[in-house]
Chain A
C-alpha cells in the first residue's frame, strides 16, 4: 500500500517557504514520451549543461528556486553558493532530489502536478488514469456479502457433528471414490468443498433444496446435487463417498464431456461453475451476477493497449472466474546476458508463481500482424498490451497451463516443469492500480483504482496436482486445513508434511482472501486427540 513517506527537513522547509509555486512554474516545461517517461525540457534546441563544469553527460538537476542546472558532482556546490537552494529536479526523470540529503525525495503534490501535465498532453484518453476522486466501488458491498456467507450457522452445525466424528481430523474431509477416471472431478470437488464462502453457502442452507422447482418436477438440478454432496461430506461419516448423482447431473449439463475418459480438471471446474451460474439466480440486467459461483470466484481483468506512436491507450474490462498462467521459463526472447555464468544450455532457472504472475502482467509488444487501430492516429500502429487485475475475487483460482496444444502439428504435450508456489500470496503488485502506477515511474499519490480498504493478501487452501502424461495421468488434491496439509487421492486421505506439497507439480492453485480463510478454519473444530501421533493414518475405510 502506498503511504506517503515523511519529507526530509529540507523539503519541508522548502514547502513552507515556497509552497507549490516552484512546482507550478515547472509544470509547463514537462514533456512525456508515449512510453510514459516525463522529462523537463526547458530549452528546445539547447543542450542542458552544468553551470559549473559545462558537462552534460551525468545526471542533471534543475534548482527549483533559481532554475540553474548542476550535474551530480556540483549540486552541493550550488547549494553552498546559494543559501536555501536545496531542492532540485532530476531533469531526465522529473523526480525530486534533495541536495543536502543526496537522495531522491517524494512529494505527492509534486507528483500530482507532473501527472496532470502528462494527462493534459495525452491525446484524448487519460491513459486509463482518472486523478479525480475515486468512486467508492461496490467492493464494500461485496465484502459484506462475503461475511454474510459467514459462519454463525456453521458453528452450530459443527458443534453437533463433532460428537459423530470418529477421529481428530477436521470436518469435511472425506474420500471420494473414483467412478471410472473421475479423479479430475474428485480433485476439483475437494477444492470446492473447502473454498470458504462457497462451503458456507451450501452448508448454511442458503440453498433451500426443499423448494427447488426443478427437483419437484423430477428434473435434475445441479445446485441441489451439490448441496446434497456437501451435506454428505460434512456429515461426519468418514467412509469414502461416491458422487455418482453429481457426476450424472454434471453430464447432463456438459453433454460434450460426458464419457468415462479422463477429462481436464480445469475444464471441469469451469464447467461446474457455469452449471451453477445457469441453474442459479437469474442475473440482473445491471452489472454483476449474484449466483454463488460469481460471488465467490469472479473478478475483473483490465487490458490496456497502448499505441507506440502517440501514447493513446485503449482500456477494456473483462470478468474472469479464474486466471490461466503461462509458465515463466526465464528465457529472454533476444540476446543472452553477457554474464558469463549463464550459458544458454544451462537451464537452472526455477519457475515460480510470482514469475508467472509477472509474466502475465508484463507489457507485451503485439506482433506486426496484430497492429492496433489507434483512435488518435487514425491508422493501424504497433502497440503494447498489458494485463492487470482490476478487482480480486474472494477466492482466486490460478490455473497453470501445462497442456500445450499444437493445432498445426495436431499434437499436444504436457509441460512437466516444476513450479514453486507460495502459501501466502500478496496480489498487490498485480492490481491495475499498481501496474498502471508503475508506468509513470516512482510517483506517490492516491490513484483512482486504489482499493484502499480491500485486502490483497491471500492464503492457499487447495492445490490440485497432476502427475503422468496428457493421456494417462492422475489428479491429486492437497488441502490446507487448520495448519495441516492433507493429501486427497480419490478415496484415500492422508495427512502429509508441507514439504510434500511444496515439491508437488501444481496444476491449479486455490487461494482465499486471508480473512475468510482464517475465519473458516476457526470453525473446523477438531477434538485434539494427540494431533501428531499418527501423521499417516488414512481415514478411508480400507487399508
Chain B
C-alpha cells in the first residue's frame, strides 16, 4: 500500500479531517499547556511526542476512524484483484 502511494494519499486525507474537526487545535492547546507548565526551556520535541501521543490517539473521533478503515479495506480489496 505504501509503494503505490495510497498510504500518502490516505495520510493527507486524515490530516485534512483532523484539522477540520478541531483535533489538531486541541492537540496544539495541550502542547501549549504542557510547555507552559514545564517552562519553554525544559521541553524537547521528544517529551511532547511522548506526552501527547496517547492523548491524541484516544481522542480521535470515531467517524474519522471509520472512514479511514473503510478506505483502507476498499483499497486492499481492489489491490488483491
Interface of A with B (CB < 8 Å)?
33, 35, 45, 47, 59, 72, 97, 101-104, 332-339
Contact = CB atoms under 8 A, between A and B. Distances in A.
A103 B23 contact: no
Contacts of B20: 332-334
Given A72-B46, A103-B45, A334-B17, A47 B2 contact: yes
Contact of A336 (B2, B21, B49, B60): B21
Nearest to A333: B20
A335 B26 contact: no
B46 A339 contact: no
B3 A338 contact: no
Contacts of A33: 12
Nearest to A105: B45
A47 to B, nearest CB: 5
A332 B49 contact: no
Interface residues of B, number: 20
Contacts of B78: none
Contact of B3 (A45, A72, A102, A104): A45
A338 B49 CA distance: 20
B18 to A, nearest CB: 10
Contacts of B58: 338
Interface string B57-73: 01111111000000000
Nearest to A56: B2
A237 to B, nearest CB: 52
A91 to B, nearest CB: 13
A332 B22 contact: yes
Most buried by A among B20, B22, B26, B64: B22
Contacts of B49: 59, 72
A103 B61 contact: no
B56 to A, nearest CB: 11
Given A333-B20, A337-B23, A339-B26, A103 B46 contact: yes
Given A45-B3, A47-B3, A337 B21 contact: yes
A103 B23 CA distance: 24
12 contacts: A45-B3, A72-B46, A72-B49, A104-B44, A332-B22, A334-B63, A335-B21, A335-B61, A337-B21, A337-B26, A339-B26, A339-B59
B2 to A, nearest CB: 5
Contacts of B23: 337
A333 B64 CA distance: 14
Most buried by B among A47, A102, A335: A335
Contacts of A35: 12
A429 to B, nearest CB: 13
A101 B41 CA distance: 12
A102 B44 contact: yes
B61 A338 contact: yes
Contacts of B44: 101-104
B14 to A, nearest CB: 13
Interface in B1-31: 2-3, 12, 17, 20-23, 26
Contacts of B26: 337, 339
Contact of A97 (B3, B22, B45): B45
- CB-based closest 3 A-B pairs: A103-B44, A335-B63, A104-B45
Contacts of A59: 49
Interface string B27-56: 000000000000000001110010000000
A102 B60 CA distance: 27
Contacts of A336: 21, 61
A419 to B, nearest CB: 19
B45 A337 contact: no
A441 to B, nearest CB: 12
A33 B12 CA distance: 10
Contacts of B60: 338
B27 to A, nearest CB: 11
B42 to A, nearest CB: 11
A45 B5 CA distance: 9
A435 to B, nearest CB: 15
Given A33-B12, A45-B3, A47-B3, A335 B46 contact: no
A440 to B, nearest CB: 15
B46 A102 contact: yes
Contacts of A97: 45
A336 B17 CA distance: 11
A49 to B, nearest CB: 11
